Structure 1
């Protein structure tokens, strides 16, 4: 095991625990996902050896290669990158979660292509919470309609929302964006009680996300170090 990865994970877990306590969250209410895009399978194995089981990947072919190499570990694989239509079958067949669904066409394809021998695919709807043209995600005003349409699909399970807010060093600005996502989820839960997941917070804004109710934080750099 890489000593640095093990130490980094311990530091992130301590940071999560401190934020849970500071902001009145229940102990262990925030799940840590290791984001391993562009990192070799050996690094993912080191993270697994340190106890992490939730792995997030952005690039399909890279993820499939790692899944084959790490099949002995029983990891839970999350697809968190933008989704092209020609990639949906492989995603539906090889992932446990997808955090980046932002349009009906993609949701329908994932539902239709999910093998019936597998459990329903867990889906988070990605919201463009800051309205950035360069970011994927649907606007808040389209959430209700898409959530209603997902509810009729038997091979996927709508589990919550994901967002990547505009980068800022201001924790108040970070919290404001995450508050919008949390409020949107609470509204959806009245009609769709399975939607309990808030996938939000990365290395630079994790504390603000936990303050506003994050249930999954997606951490790459603080676990694996800066990309080379």
Structure 2
């Protein structure tokens, strides 16, 4: 029990540190801590640890893998936290999660959006989604290219059981903060431009960008959702089944 208590203290400290850093970054951009959603990326974390994080104030959790989300789903404290999917989603896995998540942050094609729409129609649900943008044009990452973004939004807007709530990105790993700022600021500008157009069934409520290594910069550049794992839970270790 003593080691568990130390882990608890560290977890609580980590969450408080992230919140404080977000507060400072938010105020630097004319906002407040309450304007920013801190989503805990729970990949490889067990349910006990996740629920402890929720008890310390984490209100949004995100899983990267369908199998992991399904395995842990019944154990989540869903009363106090929103469950979201933030990883690459294959078409044939959509059916396993549409009844379990409040948002899918990684939609990057009309095929995926249409599959989500079809599966949600069967259960009478409208799924909130974020469109993932490949802001660094990296072949190894998912996401729509910036020049194709508006057409994808128009295509998705016609779906009845999908509702676009904003954008998400995973920028390239950068050598310095100025490079990161260029990527984040570029997507923030696009986010604002789309907001002004007031497209039907397209809502620019959330800009999800920034992870443990760059979330401060992301908040300073306009993000209002950050996805942090290591900063909350420490270095990932494989959990025993």
Normalised by the length of structure 2, the TM-score is: 0.90
Q: Which secondary structure state, in structure 2, belongs to the residue aligned with residue 195 of structure 1?
A: strand
Question: In the alignment, what sits opposite 1:34?
Answer: 40
> Which segment drifts farther, 115-124 or 145-154?
115-124
Q: How does 1:107-118 map to 2 (within 5 A)?
A: 107-115=113-121
Q: Post-superposition, which runs of at least 4 consecutive aligned residues in structure 1 deviate over 3 A? A: 71-74, 115-119
Decide whether the 8 Å contact of 2:83 with 2:101 is kept in 1.
yes
CA contact (8 A) 1:199 1:215 kept: yes
Structural mapping, 1:120-199, within 5 Å: 120-189=126-195, 190-192=197-199, 194-199=203-208
Q: How well do the aligned residues superpose, as a CA RMSD in angstroms?
A: 1.6
2:23 is equivalent to residue 5 of structure 1 = no
Cα shift at 1:118: 5.3
Q: Distance in 2 between matches of 1:216 and 1:115?
A: 27
User: 5+ unaligned residues in a row in structure 1: which ranges?
Assistant: none
Query: What TM-score do you get using the length of structure 1 for normalisation?
Result: 0.94
- 3-state SS in 2 of match to 1:38: coil
User: 1:191: Cα distance to partner?
Assistant: 3.1
Q: Deviations over 1:43-99 (max 9, x none)?
A: 101101102120010011111121111256442111011111110112222111111
Q: 1:216 aligns with which of 217, 225, 240?
A: 225
The answer to whether structure 1 residue 98 and structure 2 residue 104 are counterparts is: yes
Query: Is contact 2:41-2:229 (8 Å) kept?
Result: yes
The Cα of 1:26 is off from its aligned counterpart by 3.4
